């Protein structure tokens, strides 16, 4: 009951603490680079607890997604998805807001997919609905003549890349001139970049 608010409070179950610790450490050091000992130490518990509560390291990974991945709620945007441009805007905003809201989880997703790790299948199961919808919108927009490109495959990846990689690379601060960037500014810029990239005339 008082269990759901602030995870740093003491009244959180050790199981949840382990989940949060794992999420944090996986995002910082990668799955392979993080040991079960480390996770439990960070969570303030004992090594054996991972086996007891989850039955192994990989199940901790799976549990993180089941617990913290949003995106089940794509249905609520069906209206916007009727129009490719609006649909893309909604999706771009949604994705970037999620990236900003849970940087840890988004880093984990990005890492696992680029490493093509043994956990790729798990991650794909959660991510595919979103990317799949984006692909649909690209195809719809091309058919209706509002987007202009040759290959759906190619622009699909260019779009995903622009969307995900830039977020990730912010970590490499030495590459940036100005440290803090405003989220809404980023979203606006990404929308402009991508929609223009798709050959779409935008009225701003």
Partner DNA sequence: GTCTATACCCGGATAGAC
Partner DNA sequence: GTCTATCCGGGTATAGAC
Nearer to a second copy, 71 or 192 (CB): 192
* Residues near DNA (CB under 7 A), total: 21
Contact criterion met (CB below 8 Å) for 113 and 120: yes
**Rounded Cα distance, 90 and 191, in Å:** 10
Our finding on whether 164 is near a second copy (CB under 8 A) is: yes
**Rounded Cα distance, 123 and 120, in Å:** 5
| Contact residue for DNA among 12, 22, 50, 194 (CB under 7 A) | 50
Our finding on whether 136 is near a second copy (CB under 8 A) is: no
| Contact residue for DNA among 3, 7, 28, 51 (CB under 7 A) | 51
| Positions 106 through 125 that interact with a second copy (CB under 8 A) | 110-111, 113-117, 120, 124
Contact criterion met (CB below 8 Å) for 126 and 64: no
Our finding on whether 8 is near a second copy (CB under 8 A) is: no
Our finding on whether 77 is near a second copy (CB under 8 A) is: no
Our finding on whether 34 is near a second copy (CB under 8 A) is: no
- Report the half-sphere exposure of 95 (CA within 13 A, side-chain side): 30
Our finding on whether 37 is near a second copy (CB under 8 A) is: no
- Sequence length of the chain is 204
Q: Which two tokens stand for residue 154?
A: 């190619």
| Contact residue for DNA among 12, 20, 45, 123 (CB under 7 A) | 45
Q: Which residues contact 98 (CB under 8 A, 6 or more apart)?
A: 70, 71, 106
Helix 84-101 × helix 103-115 angle, to 10°: 110
Instruction: Measure CA 54 to chain center.
Output: 23
Nearer to a second copy, 7 or 199 (CB): 199
Contact footprint for a second copy (CB under 8 A) = 30, 32-33, 110-111, 113-117, 120, 124, 131, 135, 149-172, 174-178, 181, 185-186, 188-190, 192-194, 196-199
């Amino acid at each position: 009951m008082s269990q759901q608010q602030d995870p740093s409070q003491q009244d959180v179950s050790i199981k949840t603490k382990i989940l949060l610790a794992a999420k944090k450490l996986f995002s910082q050091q990668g799955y392979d680079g993080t040991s079960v000992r480390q996770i439990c130490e960070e969570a303030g518990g004992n090594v054996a607890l991972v086996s007891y509560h989850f039955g192994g390291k990989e199940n901790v990974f799976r549990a993180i997604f089941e617990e913290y991945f949003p995106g089940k709620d794509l249905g609520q945007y069906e209206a916007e998805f009727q129009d490719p441009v609006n649909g893309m805007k909604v999706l771009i905003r949604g994705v970037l807001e999620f990236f900003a809201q849970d940087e840890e989880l988004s880093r984990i997703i990005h890492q696992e997919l680029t490493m093509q790790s043994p956990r790729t299948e798990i991650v794909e199961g959660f991510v595919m609905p979103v990317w799949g919808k984006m692909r649909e919108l690209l195809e719809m927009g091309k058919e209706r003549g509002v987007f202009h490109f040759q290959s759906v495959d190619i622009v699909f990846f260019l779009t995903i890349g622009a969307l995900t990689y830039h977020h990730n690379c912010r970590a490499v601060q030495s590459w940036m001139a100005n440290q803090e960037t405003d989220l809404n500014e980023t979203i606006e810029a990404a929308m402009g970049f991508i929609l223009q990239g798709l050959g779409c005339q935008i009225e701003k």
